[in-house]
Amino acid sequence: MVNNLRHTRESEIFLEDLAEELSVPIGRYEQAERSYQSLGEWLHREKSSVRPFDPNVYVQGSFRLGTTIRPSTDTEEYDVDSVCELQNLDKFSLTQRQLKTLLGLEIEAYRKSQSMNKPLREGRRCWVLDYADGAQFHMDIVPAIPNGQGARALLESRDLETRWTDTAIAITDNKGATYSSLTEDWPRSNPKGYCEWFKSRMSGDLERRKRILAESVKASVEDIPDYKVRTPLQAAVMILKRHRDYSFAGRQDERPISVIITTLAAHSYNGEETIGGALDAILGNMEKYILWHNNRHWIPNPTDPLENFADKWAEHPERAAAFVEWLLKAREEFARAAHSRDRAIIAETVGRGVGLSLAHRAARRPHQSSLLKIGSIAPVSAGLSFPDRSRVPTKPQGFGGAQ
């Protein structure tokens, strides 16, 4: 285990600079925000076929959580995940296919109105808008309808936690058996609820940092948006995602998925006040939250315990083994770096997992306070939600402590 390591000041500073190096440039964030607002305006225009259904476009995934990392090369794109929730429809109004087709026609019309050259692509659960090459991002738009009552009733019938169900949604899946059927059996999701759960795991630290910042600029806490500060949990998740990406270059099918890393990290975080402390707690305790249920690994969605984020591990046991491999590697590398006072050695050690070029850029970066992040974005909760208008636990085999 790597809990309770004594990090040198130099290692802590390096981790802060590494998180900054991974941060999303504010220009990219503003670019994505303009795109969301533009799509929202289009869907609410007078001639829009979906306007009567009160479409609400909002962000999900890492942009909503404040854990997005910049691409490692200029050829990679930001994957900006969004939801378009038609709030005045229900599961008996239309089929999944009809919902996806309805929204797809509007998105295609929007693409043409914006003179976007790349064709609209259909994903399994979403439509994909590819922006011009210089934009360096594409937007995945998931069609959805409200499902709060349905989700609550389902979980109550199993005596499961319903705290987060108010914002649950039903989504489409063109590979699902009920895709073309008029039925209440739709795939479930709850990106807003998941973000609120994630935020609850760091709420004390988030509010403390906002209060300190507000005092420093003589403003009220209410005037400080969440994205102006970054917590150690968010920074740790960003660093671990990059470590995962680099460690599994060429083995993408095996690498741990982001939602597993994020969920286990948030469970393991206990309000540590530094990035190094957060990494210690996370890497030392992640496996405690991997359950063994019905003869398979189980990492429940905190907002919907019936969903297993590790559901593919039973079919692909190499992915469970890959998680163990990655966790032990990360433990060893970050533990070794924690003891060093030599910035070059710290960069070389951490660079084995995140990439030497990135680590060296972080080592050369002029250090600044990690409290205020004007040059980067770490949005939480409603930070990227746009207006509707104008737009039994057991330890899996293979886990062990690293020295």
Whether the predicted pLDDT of 132 surpasses 80: no
Residues 395-399 have a mean pLDDT of 37
pLDDT for res 134: 64
216: in domain:
yes
pLDDT for res 403: 33
Domain shared by 239 and 285, yes or no? yes
pLDDT tens sequence across 22-40: 998 777 777 777 888 899 9
Domain shared by 267 and 325, yes or no? yes
Residues 7-28 have a mean pLDDT of 90
Residues 111-124 have a mean pLDDT of 94
Domain shared by 34 and 17, yes or no? no
> Per-residue confidence at 366, pLDDT binned at 50, 70, 90?
confident
Percent of the chain at pLDDT > 90 equals 69
pLDDT for res 210: 81
Domain shared by 186 and 47, yes or no? yes
> Per-residue confidence at 48, pLDDT binned at 50, 70, 90?
very high
Domain shared by 85 and 222, yes or no? no
17: in domain:
yes
Using CA atoms, how far apart are residues 393 and 292, in angstroms rounded to an integer? 6
> Per-residue confidence at 369, pLDDT binned at 50, 70, 90?
low
> Per-residue confidence at 179, pLDDT binned at 50, 70, 90?
very high
Domain shared by 343 and 376, yes or no? yes
Q: Which tokens belong to 236?
A: 């740790």
Residue with tokens 């854990």: 67
Full residue range of the structural domain in which residue 242 is found: 9-24+203-384
Domain shared by 111 and 163, yes or no? yes
Residues 43-66 have a mean pLDDT of 94
* Least confidently predicted of 96-110, 274-288, 352-366, 374-388: 374-388
Whether the predicted pLDDT of 374 surpasses 90: no
Whether the predicted pLDDT of 393 surpasses 50: no
pLDDT for res 204: 83
392: in domain:
no
166 vs 395, more confident: 166
Residues 107-114 have a mean pLDDT of 96
Whether the predicted pLDDT of 133 surpasses 90: no
pLDDT tens sequence across 140-150: 999 999 999 99
Using CA atoms, how far apart are residues 258 and 55, in angstroms rounded to an integer? 28
365: in domain:
yes
Domain count, the chain: 2
Domain shared by 246 and 316, yes or no? yes
pLDDT for res 305: 95
CB neighbourhood size of 34 (10 A): 11
Whether the predicted pLDDT of 402 surpasses 80: no
> Per-residue confidence at 383, pLDDT binned at 50, 70, 90?
very low
Residues 324-344 have a mean pLDDT of 95
pLDDT tens sequence across 210-264: 888 888 888 887 777 666 778 999 999 999 999 999 999 989 899 999 999 999 9
Residue 51: what residue type?
Answer: R
Q: Which of 195, 223, 255 is the last residue of a domain?
A: 195
The full 3-state SS of the chain, as one line of letters, equals: CCCCCCCCHHHHHHHHHHHHHHCCEHHHHHHHHHHHHHHHHHHCCCCCCCHHHCEEEEECCHHHHCCCCCCCCCCCCEEEEEEEEECCCCCCCCCHHHHHHHHHHHHHHHHHHCCCCCCCEECCCCEEEECCHHHCEEEEEEEEEECHHHHHHHHHHCCCCCCCHHHCEEECCCCCCCCCCCCCCCCEECHHHHHHHHHHCCHHHHHHHHHHHHHHCCCCHHHCCHHHCCCHHHHHHHHHHHHHHHHCCCCCCCCCCHHHHHHHHHHHCCCCCCHHHHHHHHHHHHHHHCEEECCEEECEECCEEEEECCCHHHHCHHHHHHHHHHHHHHHHHHHHHHHCCCHHHHHHHHHHHHCHHHHHHHHHCCCCCCCCCCCECCCCHHHHECCCCCCCECCCCCCCCCC
Domain shared by 105 and 253, yes or no? no
pLDDT for res 380: 43
Residue 250: what residue type?
Answer: G
211 vs 14, more confident: 14
Domain shared by 167 and 211, yes or no? no
* Least confidently predicted of 72-76, 215-219, 278-282, 363-367: 72-76
Using CA atoms, how far apart are residues 92 and 112, in angstroms rounded to an integer? 31
pLDDT for res 76: 75
